[in-house]
Chain A
Amino acid sequence: MSTLEAPRPTRGDTVADPADLVTEALDLGYDGTRVVHALDLRLPPGQVTAIVGPNGCGKSTLLGALARVHEAQGGAVLLDGRDLATLRPRDAARRIGLLPQQAAAPDGLTVRDLVRYGRHPHQGLLRQWSPEDAAAVHGALAAADLLDLADRPLDQLSGGQRQRAWIAMVVAQQTAVVLLDEPTSALDLGHQLEVLELVADLAAQGRTVVLVLHDLSTACRHADHLVAMRDGRVVAEGPPADVVTAGLVRELYGVEAAVLRDPTSGTPVVCPVRRVAATG
């Protein structure tokens, strides 16, 4: 929609206090099955980090752990040097925002209603609406270019608009860390770009953004930092241009691929050739 016609100025607050998010020997799992093993990771502040890897490699679980959805079974997630598990949930939610996959809202809820939920960690029983809340909701709607659609029910929006509304909810939370689990899945190319441009804006404001992405080329194009995972371990980490090679693609997905350069951005583009046995 309007994203293409009107270049979107970067709006919203600049984060004064970037967060330092680190995992130390982090073990994660469900019901006795270990999904992530002894993971040491530092997420570069103010940058976009993309976590990639095959299905079931533990990337969504890791993102959940960064947002306290999953408890660490060993090791810890440290936020500014403090164990995330020891923080009050509300304090943690003022620093770290999460948009999980397949988030669904009650029928009839409007964009503004949803974005207001983002203020929850800043509110209380007797502090239900402050000037800061009004400003943050307005700022988040503006950042996601949704001011025109603010009072439309979510179920009347396109997939891309709806996804931007969910991201706006997280933006209204005004956290230094924003975690997004596959924010572009099920979106067409234009809508994907809509979302990824918004993501770039968030990082430009000083937020630490972590994305789980399915598509390696998209990750290369839009992330500053890449974390490649397989079987619950980090296989490679660093700037996409340095990390993504034919060898890595083979190791991750068991696919032989040609890795080319994007003519505009110079970032790696992965062209799969055929399936082979995974190495590593």
Chain B
Amino acid sequence: MTERKKVRIATTSLAGCFGCHTSFLDIDERLFALLDRVEFDRSPLTDIKHCGPCDIGIVEGGICNAENVEVLREFRRQCRILVAIGACAVTGGLPAQRNHLDLGACLSEVYLTELGVVNGQIPNDPELPLPLDKVHPLHEVVKVDYFIPGCPPSAEAIWKFLGDLLAGRTPHLGHGLMQYD
């Protein structure tokens, strides 16, 4: 009996809320069945800091700052198949609701002029990634192979998607699993 080589998966959350990761964990005990087939590279589940060569990269959240761009490009470089998961990765989502506001005005309101702010200053530590003037969905920065919409997509939708992909089928979410909300 030769053991089948496991499919290597990396996941990350960029400008997201980890809700999609939480929904992924909602597949519950099916995680054990999944772990017979896959192993995890960089992911909040492993705490590996950089993504090695992977079969599948799953990215939650949109792109709101320079670090997001760097991480997304690392995923695109290392993963054969890149998947955008959730409304933020697919559309920009909630963080993109700031896109009609001027970034400078946003920062000064929050850190300088907001009621209750005393001696405020706009953070400028060089370790902080610079925010982008607009929040973008992933496909505006790199090529994305598959999209799973939803806020978050249900565990059933994620399970169906992964099942299809691991079986070599084109993933298909029918009515009920495909939700934008």
Q: Do A and B come from one complex?
A: no
Residues of A at the B interface (CB closer than 8 Å) are: none
